[in-house]
Amino acid sequence: MFTLLVAFLSFFGFIVAYNTYGHFLARRIFRISDDEIVPSVELRDDIDFVPTNRYVIFGHHFTAIAGTGPIVGPTIAVIWGWLPALLWVIFGSIFIGAVHDFAALVLSLRSKGHSLGDIAGEVLSPSAKLLFLILLAFILAIIVAVFGNVIAKTFEDYPQSVMPTVISIPVAIILGLVTHRFGISLLLASLCSIVILGLTVVMSASNPVFSVHMPNLENYHASLNSTMLWTWVLFIYCYFASVLPVWLLLQPRDYVNSLILYIVLALIVVGLVLAGISGSADIMGASPPLRISAATESGAPPILPFLFITVACGAVSGFHALVSSGTSSKQVASMKDALFVGYGGMLLEAALAVLVILSCTAGIGIGIVNSSSAAATTGVSNTTQTQIQIDSQTKTTSQEPFIITGRDAWNLRYNRNWKEMNLGEQVGTFIEGGANFISKVGISTRFGQGIIAILVACFAATTIDAALRLMRYILQELGGMIRFAPMRNRFFATAIGLLMAVGLALCKSAPDASYGTGGLILWPIFGAGNQVIAGLTLIVAGVYLIRKKTRAIYLMIPGAIMIILPLWAMLYNILFIFTANGQYLLTVVGIFIIFLAIWLMYVAFVAVRKMIEIEKNHEPNDKNIQ
């Protein structure tokens, strides 16, 4: 019952926060007015700027900001125990993450849908714009390259996830056409889409015949392994998703995927309730609430500050500001929808992160299948090891799987060296734990794993195509700033962005690694760099509020926290990890990010000081954003 209580209090807290703190920010701090004209109406072009139904844009925004971020981060962070990760997700999302997303969306809505880099130039100074845009393009290139690899590996490991992900593309295009061009009811189109994709999910997850396997052509060339071939397919899709009108593919696909995701998440919640009532899901018995010393012995970095960059999406993430100020601000049809999309979307992602934490602790504790060799190296008790060995011998004749439960099951996944933990295996931990919850609804564990694998693939796919479109916006703004006309063209800018991601993907993360993993070279600095962007976004929004002569403390304090913690983590990495291991590229990039953050903080300080001096002299305040 304690597991169920944790879930209930978390979800109830998010609902209360939306209806209290969220509305306070909208009315008292940002002073939202329904009469404000939004960019989708003022600049409508039916390519990027398209007024959109609030539920459709919410689905797009939620799936775009989520991806595998709120899955991967929490699955790794529970190595320190489930309690720190849970508290950071709950309070971080309410007071920092949701505020950050909402602020970025409002600022972009009030600056004609401009990106975060453009807004920084308007609020702080024109000189702040160039380096900010370069940083954003760099972070987005890493996201496209790494998420492409994650989706490709998911397709390879869970081939039943391919067909629903592919079928969602034509279904989305049809939905976009019938609702946007022919005025068909969104409810009717949504129901038809759910039925089609639901049948596809059921067929793919239940029958191996519908699994799709990519041929491995590595014998012809090392770069033609199945993972890299899937990566190429994804990159080609992303190019078209970036340049086509947003209402035709990107927006409806995200919306359609969100409908399936809501259903799968609802299944996990119902299963969690049933498991909690029956007592089979025991978070206290399955995993430790706090495990700092043991995590340190495993080679994990110190929980402070690394918890706060390990769990990014789900608590706070700078990438969300790029989505808010990139695609979402160009589709929100009314200013009154900003709170629902920005603040509400982040809280729903936090709820997903809570489910992930519970799946990787109480869910895994319900039972997993593994071998004696794995157990012997991961701290499973001697009694259980003996039983596993007995069953291992039996398995050779009976083929019956052996299931371990409780703390032994959790140890099998987490009582290991920090360096051995990787993205693919941790996503698999969530898939297993979530499937255990779904099994309580009467669905087989194998079928449940197929469903959640489809959820993961769909989530990640909605991030990679949105990220490339965002990179296109950033590069177009850079093209205008440096007066390079071809860069303003959406086809050319998308091609440049894709080449940046391809360049990373074609590299190897290590000499003995496979092609397609190159983005992982820079992944160690992504966490801190991403959180630095979140801090800078909050500082920029705080300076904007000071210009508007309203209370900025609700953004400045979270902004300071999100500058200090990631820079602390970045400095730790540079001093004790990167230089010690000879990772000089990471060292240089890390120093650049630290320099950029300090420089932009200085620019913000100068801007605030100038405003104070103007106020003292009773001079009119310059306002670049209306």
pLDDT band at 107 (very low <50, low <70, confident <90, very high): very high
Instruction: Assess if residue 378 is contained within a domain.
Output: no
Q: Is residue 457 part of a domain?
A: yes
Which one has a higher pLDDT value, 462 or 414?
414
pLDDT at 379 over 50: no
Which of 99-103, 515-519, 548-552 tops mean pLDDT?
A: 99-103
Ranking 137-151, 327-341, 555-569 by mean pLDDT, the lowest is 137-151
Rounded to an integer, the average pLDDT of 476-484 is: 86
More confidently predicted of 276 and 220: 276
The boundaries of the domain holding residue 502 are 2-213+225-367+417-507
pLDDT the model gives residue 373: 37
394-401 contacts: CB < 8 A, separation 24 or more? 401/369
Q: Say what the pLDDT of residue 619 is.
A: 54
pLDDT-derived band at 338 (thresholds 50, 70, 90) equals: very high
SS3 52: strand
Among 621, 597, 595, 620, CA closest to 608: 621
pLDDT number for residue 401: 54
Q: Considering only residues 478 and 461, tell me which one the structure prediction assigns the higher pLDDT.
A: 478
CB 292 within 8 A of CB 20: no
**Confidence class for position 625, pLDDT limits 50, 70, 90:** low
Q: Is 515 helix (H, G, I), strand (E, B) or coil?
A: coil
Residue listed under structure tokens 């880099």: 117
Least confident of 130-139, 455-464, 489-498: 455-464
DSSP, collapsed to helix, strand or coil, labels residue 114 as coil
For residue range 403-461, list pLDDT tens digits in order: 788 899 899 889 888 877 766 677 888 999 999 999 999 988 888 888 888 778 777 77
Half-sphere exposure of 140 (CA within 13 A, CB side): 34
Please choose, from the candidates 132, 113, 30, the residue with its C-alpha nearest in 3D space to the C-alpha of residue 603. Answer: 132
Count: domains in the chain: 1
* Residue 392 in this model has a pLDDT that exceeds 50: no
Closest CA to 228 of 422, 464, 523, 506: 506
181 burial (CB, 10 Å; 0-12 / 13-18 / 19+) is exposed
**Inter-residue contact 283 to 359 (CB < 8 Å):** no
d(CA 344, CA 450): 28
CB atoms < 10 A from the CB of 266, how many? Answer: 11
pTM for the predicted model, two decimal places = 0.87
Q: For the residues 600-625, what does the mean pLDDT come to?
A: 73
Helix-then-strand count for the chain, H and E: 29, 2
Place of tokens 């990566």: 231
Most confident residue range from 58-62, 502-506, 521-525, 597-601: 58-62
Least confident of 1-5, 120-124, 125-129: 125-129
pLDDT-derived band at 330, boundaries 50, 70, 90: very high
- The answer to whether residue 530 is domain-embedded is no
519 within some domain: no
- Cα distances (angstroms) measured from residue 255 to each of 10, 458, 466: 25, 11, 13
Q: Tell me how far apart the alpha carbons of residues 392 and 385 are, in angstroms, rounded to a whole number.
A: 10
Q: Return the pLDDT at 537.
A: 93
**Across residues 114-122, what is the average pLDDT?**
84
Residue-level pLDDT at 268: 94
The confidence score (pLDDT) of residue 340 equals 97
Q: What is the pLDDT of residues 51-100, one digit of tens each?
A: 999 999 999 899 889 877 788 899 999 999 999 999 999 999 999 999 99
Give the C-alpha separation, 458 to 66, whole Å: 11
Please check whether residue 556 lies inside any domain of the structure: no
What pLDDT is attached to residue 309? 93
Residue 377 scores a pLDDT above 50: no
Residue 370: per-residue pLDDT = 57
- C-alpha span between 105 and 326 (Å, rounded): 9
Query: Tens digit of pLDDT for each residue in 510-534?
Result: 666 667 666 667 777 888 989 999 9
Give the residue among 222, 204, 126 at the shortest CA–CA distance from 165.
Answer: 204
The rounded percent of the chain whose pLDDT value lies above 90 is: 41
Confidence of residue 147 (pLDDT cuts 50, 70, 90): confident
Q: What is the DSSP letter of 363?
A: I
Is pLDDT above 50 for 375?
no
Looking at 330-334, 337-341, 395-399, 546-550, which range is the least confident one?
395-399
Q: How confident is the model at residue 491 (pLDDT cuts 50, 70, 90)?
A: very high
One-letter amino acid of 61? H
pLDDT of residue 455: 78
pLDDT in tens, 11-33: 999 999 999 999 999 999 999 99
145: tokens are 């390259």
Instruction: Evaluate whether residue 404 is within a structural domain.
Output: no
Tell me what pLDDT residue 66 has: 84
Cα–Cα dist 221/223, whole Å? 5
Tokens of 528: 């801190």
The DSSP line for 522-556 is THHHHHHHHHHHHHHHHHHHHHHHHHTTS--HHHH
Q: What 8-state DSSP symbol labels residue 359?
A: I
Tokens 């190897």: give the residue. 508
Token duo for residue 136: 């954003």
Structure tokens at 561: 């926290």
Band of residue 493 on the pLDDT scale cut at 50, 70, 90: very high
Exposed, middle or buried by CB within 10 Å (0-12, 13-18, 19+), for 267?
buried
pLDDT value of residue 423: 67
DSSP string, 197-254: HHHHHHHHHH-GGG-------TTT-GGGSHHHHHHHHHHHHHHHHHHS-TTTTHHHHH
Q: What is the model's pLDDT at position 384?
A: 41
CA 58/CA 469 separation, integer angstroms: 18
Q: Where are the alpha helices (DSSP H) in 377-444?
A: 382-398, 406-414, 423-439
The CATH number covering residue 172 comes to 1.20.1730
Query: Does the pLDDT at position 186 exceed 60?
Result: yes
Is 90 exceeded by the pLDDT of residue 221?
no
> What percentage of the chain carries pLDDT values higher than 70?
90
Q: Is the pLDDT of residue 4 over 50?
A: yes
Rg (C-alpha) for the chain, rounded Å, is 24
Assess if residue 535 is contained within a domain: no
Question: Is the bond leading into 305 cis (omega within 30 degrees of zero)?
Answer: yes
Per-residue pLDDT tens over the stretch 340-367: 999 999 999 999 999 999 999 999 999 8
Q: Is residue 409 part of a domain?
A: no
- Does 470 score more than 80 pLDDT? yes
Q: Residue 382: its pLDDT value, please?
A: 42
Q: What is the pLDDT of residue 385?
A: 40
pLDDT at 424: 66
**Cβ-based neighbours of 466, under 8 Å, separated by 6 or more:** 60, 64, 250, 254, 323, 326, 327
- CB contact at 8 A, 254 and 63: yes
Confidence of residue 540 (pLDDT cuts 50, 70, 90): very high
Residue type for 501, please?
A: A
Query: What are the C-alpha distances in Å from 334 to residues 101, 246, 257, 624?
Result: 17, 18, 23, 21
The tokens for 379 are: 């701290």
Q: How confident is the model at residue 495 (pLDDT cuts 50, 70, 90)?
A: very high
Count CB neighbours of 444 within 10 A.
13
Section 173-194 average pLDDT: 88
Report the mean per-residue pLDDT for the chain: 85
